[in-house]
């Protein structure tokens, strides 16, 4: 297991997605089976991606690979990675992360939709 650290940008985006999902839940009438809203589904997917990163960054469902357009925040010689929160979706969300700064730590750099 890895300990997660967050940049301010990533933490604020995660919180924004969570708040939007909670607001959508509150707007739903009644209690019973219902289809989840788009914002609920998005947050659930991003949360699952972050949880899997903490457990195993090489989990096959994450499709983790090196991302060269971002610089490592702690050591420019190290790699930054991209993990898929969504796939085959227009504007699919991605989680950008790196190892460090300490052993057994992962830093979430950004959570963004794919351009």
Per residue of the chain (115 residues), what is the pLDDT tens digit? 999 999 999 999 999 999 999 998 888 776 666 777 889 999 999 999 999 999 999 999 999 999 999 999 999 999 999 999 999 888 899 999 999 999 999 999 999 998 6
Give the per-residue pLDDT at 45.
Answer: 96
CATH code: domain of residue 107: 3.30.2310.20
Residue 73 falls inside a structural domain: yes
Cβ contact 102:111 at 8 Å? no
Give the per-residue pLDDT at 78.
Answer: 94
Residue 87 falls inside a structural domain: yes
Give the per-residue pLDDT at 35.
Answer: 76
Give the per-residue pLDDT at 33.
Answer: 61
Give the per-residue pLDDT at 114.
Answer: 83
Q: How many domains does the chain have?
A: 1
Residue 110 structure tokens: 């950004």
Give the per-residue pLDDT at 79.
Answer: 95
Residue 97 falls inside a structural domain: yes
Residue 31 falls inside a structural domain: no
Q: How far is the CA of 46 from the CAs of 41, 75, 92, 113, in angstroms?
A: 9, 26, 10, 11
Domain region containing 43 = 3-26+36-113
Pick from 108, 111, 75, 71: nearest CA to 91:
111
Residue 58 falls inside a structural domain: yes
């Amino acid at each position: 297991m890895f300990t997660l650290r967050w940049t301010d940008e990533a933490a604020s985006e995660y919180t924004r997605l969570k708040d939007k999902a909670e607001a959508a839940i509150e707007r739903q009438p009644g209690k019973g089976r219902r289809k989840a809203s788009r914002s609920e589904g998005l947050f659930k997917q991003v949360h699952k991606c972050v949880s899997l990163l903490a457990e195993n960054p090489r989990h096959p469902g994450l499709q983790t690979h090196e991302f060269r357009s971002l610089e490592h925040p702690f050591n420019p010689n190290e790699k930054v990675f991209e993990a898929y929160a969504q796939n085959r979706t227009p504007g699919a969300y991605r989680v950008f992360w790196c190892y460090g700064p300490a052993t057994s730590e992962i830093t979430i750099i950004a959570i963004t939709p794919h351009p």
